[in-house]
A and B are shown apart, each in its own frame.
Chain A
């Protein structure tokens, strides 16, 4: 949002519901991107195994916890979180980031086609390789996906800090979620922009994922560029105060 709009606060005027840093403290304006749930709402327990445990096997704390949950109010589970065995939070997040205009069906089909393409390519390689190499070739598209994104995560990032009227790019350690977000964002922008015409997204994405899995490719290069910039701006590290 360009400017935070005025909304009626829920009676906890000014108190942050989560721990959100860098709140705009302009008078008369309250930030709006909070969740509508108050602090007493608990997160829903989606795990099937939790409910399948027979009552006899529970420890004292677990029985206490169950009794407690019976009295608490619980948030509604989002539609994307299922109790399916095949669900993967990383894949869901990536699909959401690929989505344009709310078209989740298209994003999800692109994701499944990408995983299928990765799998088929790896099977080709497997059948063409000799017996020793076959042991090293990874065919599970999910492990390839996770490993590729892990390889793309930068360790250190740059943050613009205002000092003396100028913005300096200061190297800063990144939080886990910021790193994951940057890896996924770079992967998606790379595939959208540097794609040859008439090549479809699943094919390009599968290519990029396989290259990132082997630590080659443009996304890994971008991560290394980020590291080099951070190394170059080492002297500005003192501008960080946290």
Chain B
């Protein structure tokens, strides 16, 4: 894992040793690791950038460093601590979350990563009535896609963890007690109708067994404010569905409660995919609503803000090293001042500006 400094020197620093002095510098993730650790969850523009540059570089920033410090000093006997990353649009919440996930994957934690909870509460083509509980609804497509990605991310754990209950899927298929979790995941991917129930089982088993201390669990949810908002989904008689009535959301809420030990919960609240929330809202209180805030309370809020001058310089240097800024004037002081003014040091805006310059 290489750390790209402000100059052309590339120094190899192990990620566990990222410190205060590395703020503003980039570190490299190999493309192979990217495919295993992040089958889903990276922002689409970042994926395009990785494809164009043929390398994945994340910037080391203060909120991520703070979180890493807390994670390194967690006491796994205590209930899981909840950390909420919040900030305005484009400041880097999702990429900070990805930094944390990569760190934990390197440390051999089990990663439970939901890339965007908002995708589960809107634009669902097929809603089935749940087989397990008549009141709730199933989302076979979203659940099966998530299970596929979960499998790629955590291959090695699936054979080690054993299921502690017998689950009957239908008249002919059932999973015995003591069989590996991989079987449940396979069942969910094969039989798309039972995918949501498979997800529920996976979540329940992981929660139960992480308290035993065999593995450490990291629950990472992006856009957690979707769990307590409203959905745009409707029943056949056009009456709206609340999030509780979706089986995926119901099980995820149980996961985010801090009644288990042996891991950590890192969440992000974002307005970008959210439904019925004003554009300028970015604080956790505004985005989660009363119900969500009360459920998540107590949590540790971490503000992700725009780049500071050092980080901004670092970002521009990174683009210049990769020859991304092709405009002649972009290399000059004038050009840099202009970019600073136009983007207000917002990472998302800066990336969009540099894309066409």
- The residues of A with any CB-CB pair to B shorter than 8 Å are 84-86, 112-113, 115-116, 119-120, 123-124, 127, 139-142
Whether, in the assembled complex, B334 has its beta carbon less than 8 Å from a beta carbon of chain A, the answer is yes
Whether, in the assembled complex, B335 has its beta carbon less than 8 Å from a beta carbon of chain A, the answer is yes
- The residues of B with any CB-CB pair to A shorter than 8 Å are 48, 52-54, 323, 326-330, 332, 334-335, 338, 355-357
Closest to A85 in B: B329
Residue among B53, B332, B356 making CB contact with A85, cutoff 8 Å: B332
Contacts of B327 in A (CB 8 A): 86, 140, 142
Report yes or no: B338 in contact with A120, Cβ–Cβ below 8 A: no
Report yes or no: A86 in contact with B357, Cβ–Cβ below 8 A: yes
Contacts of A123 in B (CB 8 A): 52-53
The majority secondary structure among interface residues of chain B is helix
Complex: how many Å from CA A84 to CA B330?
A: 11
Q: How far is the CB of A53 from chain B (nearest CB, A)?
A: 15
Q: How far is the CB of A187 from chain B (nearest CB, A)?
A: 18
Report yes or no: A139 in contact with B323, Cβ–Cβ below 8 A: yes
Q: How far is the CB of B341 from chain A (nearest CB, A)?
A: 10
Given contacts A86-B327, A119-B355, contact A124 B338 (CB under 8 A): no
Complex: how many Å from CA A140 to CA B357?
A: 8
Complex: how many Å from CA A120 to CA B330?
A: 18
Given contacts A112-B356, A120-B52, A141-B356, contact A86 B330 (CB under 8 A): yes
Q: How far is the CB of A135 from chain B (nearest CB, A)?
A: 13
Contacts of B355 in A (CB 8 A): 112, 116, 119
Contacts of A124 in B (CB 8 A): 52
Closest to A48 in B: B334
Contacts of A127 in B (CB 8 A): 54
Report yes or no: A140 in contact with B54, Cβ–Cβ below 8 A: no
Q: How far is the CB of B228 from chain A (nearest CB, A)?
A: 34
Known: A85-B335, A120-B48, A140-B327. 19 other contacts (CB 8 A): A84-B338, A85-B329, A85-B334, A85-B338, A86-B327, A86-B330, A86-B335, A86-B357, A112-B355, A112-B356, A113-B356, A116-B355, A116-B356, A120-B52, A123-B53, A124-B52, A139-B326, A141-B356, A142-B326
Contacts of A113 in B (CB 8 A): 356
Contacts of A116 in B (CB 8 A): 355-356
- The 11 listed contacts between A and B (C-beta, < 8 Å) are A85-B338, A86-B330, A86-B338, A113-B356, A116-B356, A119-B326, A119-B355, A119-B356, A139-B323, A141-B356, A142-B327
Complex: how many Å from CA A6 to CA B53?
A: 60
Complex: how many Å from CA A113 to CA B335?
A: 20
Contacts of B357 in A (CB 8 A): 86
Complex: how many Å from CA A112 to CA B54?
A: 23
Contacts of B335 in A (CB 8 A): 85-86
Complex: how many Å from CA A149 to CA B330?
A: 23
Q: How far is the CB of B332 from chain A (nearest CB, A)?
A: 7
Contacts of B326 in A (CB 8 A): 119, 139-142
Complex: how many Å from CA A86 to CA B356?
A: 11
Closest to B322 in A: A123
Complex: how many Å from CA A113 to CA B355?
A: 9
Please provide the 4 A-B residue pairs with the shortest distance between their CB atoms, ordered closest to farther.
Answer: A140-B326, A115-B356, A85-B329, A112-B356
Q: How far is the CB of B83 from chain A (nearest CB, A)?
A: 34
Contacts of A86 in B (CB 8 A): 327, 329-330, 335, 338, 357
Of the listed residues A84, A124, A139, the one surrounded by the most CB atoms of chain B closer than 10 A to its CB is: A84
Closest to A140 in B: B326
Closest to B342 in A: A84
Contacts of B332 in A (CB 8 A): 85
Contacts of A112 in B (CB 8 A): 355-356
Of the listed residues B48, B52, B326, B332, the one surrounded by the most CB atoms of chain A closer than 10 A to its CB is: B326
Contacts of B356 in A (CB 8 A): 112-113, 115-116, 119, 141
Q: How far is the CB of B281 from chain A (nearest CB, A)?
A: 24
Of the listed residues B53, B327, B330, the one surrounded by the most CB atoms of chain A closer than 10 A to its CB is: B327
Complex: how many Å from CA A119 to CA B353?
A: 13
Q: How far is the CB of A84 from chain B (nearest CB, A)?
A: 6
Complex: how many Å from CA A113 to CA B357?
A: 11
Q: How far is the CB of B102 from chain A (nearest CB, A)?
A: 24
Closest to A121 in B: B52
Contacts of B53 in A (CB 8 A): 123
Complex: how many Å from CA A139 to CA B52?
A: 12
Complex: how many Å from CA A142 to CA B356?
A: 9
Q: How far is the CB of A142 from chain B (nearest CB, A)?
A: 6
Q: How far is the CB of A121 from chain B (nearest CB, A)?
A: 10
Closest to B332 in A: A85
Q: How far is the CB of A107 from chain B (nearest CB, A)?
A: 14
Q: How far is the CB of A47 from chain B (nearest CB, A)?
A: 12
Contacts of A119 in B (CB 8 A): 326, 355-356
Q: How far is the CB of A62 from chain B (nearest CB, A)?
A: 22
Q: How far is the CB of A124 from chain B (nearest CB, A)?
A: 7
Contacts of B329 in A (CB 8 A): 85-86
Q: How far is the CB of B52 from chain A (nearest CB, A)?
A: 5
Contacts of A120 in B (CB 8 A): 48, 52
Q: How far is the CB of B43 from chain A (nearest CB, A)?
A: 16
Of the listed residues A123, A124, A127, the one surrounded by the most CB atoms of chain B closer than 10 A to its CB is: A123
Of the listed residues A85, A116, A124, A139, the one surrounded by the most CB atoms of chain B closer than 10 A to its CB is: A85
Q: How far is the CB of A183 from chain B (nearest CB, A)?
A: 21
